[in-house]
Amino acid sequence: MSVTSRYREAWEAFWREASAEPGAVFWDAEPVLTVGPHLALFEPYLADPALPMVDLGCGNGTQTRYLADRFPRVLGLDLSAAALDHARRRDPAGQAAYRQLDAVEKEEVQALHAELGDTNVYVRGVLHQCEPDDRQSLVDGIATLVGDRGRACLVELSGAAKQALMGLAGGPDGPPDKLAPVFRHGLTPGEVSDEAVPEYLRSAGLSVLASGRLPLRTTEYHPDGTRVELPSTWLVAGRTA
């Protein structure tokens, strides 16, 4: 099983069009506002911080580079070759490594686990963008990468985020500049219910070790100058036996 060609091409088109300017992508907020707070929640549950850290769905690598400052080996993975081109250009010193991966393709994920061994995995906003039929396969792939000793940190928009996004998009002037490409390329934010995420994890053989809610900060601003924030849920999962 692999992702549909429509889904793959949607992401390629999005990243080919995306500006390389920092903060130009809707969700590409500064790491101190995104992966930083997530890592503070994630780190206490790491059974082995020395395991490779995987940033799954790394996009242009903004959060990956932050992780590479804090862990000895970091690998950014993305479906989109165009996204990885952005990531490599923005990381000329090679702080992290980057690789193209279809995370719902079982054999690809198994081969990576055979190469790396167990890993810790950071996943921000990937599951809700997947095609519905691919979501369990994606989480199964995360479970394969985690193995017996790793931990996964998933951050997903909560159900209330979809209404907030539709409110932004439905303004008199249409979607804000940074949100418009998301809709133009047929991407579908906010499509997974809060209850579904832990069920996907349990079906993949992982236990939810901790969870909570945090605002997911974006790079867009309201007319009054306040930053657009979306409700999100975070979960830490791993095998406990």
pLDDT tens for the chain, 241 residues: list them.
455 678 889 999 999 999 999 999 999 999 999 999 999 999 999 999 999 999 999 999 999 999 999 999 999 999 999 999 999 999 999 999 999 999 999 999 999 999 999 999 999 989 988 888 899 999 999 999 999 999 999 999 988 887 888 787 777 777 878 888 888 887 766 568 889 999 999 999 999 999 999 999 999 998 889 999 999 999 999 998 6
Residue 43's Cβ-count burial label (10 Å; 0-12, 13-18, 19+) is middle
Cβ atoms of residues 159 and 189 within 8 Å: no
- Give CA–CA dist 70/87, Å, rounded: 18
Q: Tokens representing 58?
A: 């790394």
- Give CA–CA dist 199/204, Å, rounded: 9
Identify the H or E element spanning 62. Answer: helix 62-68
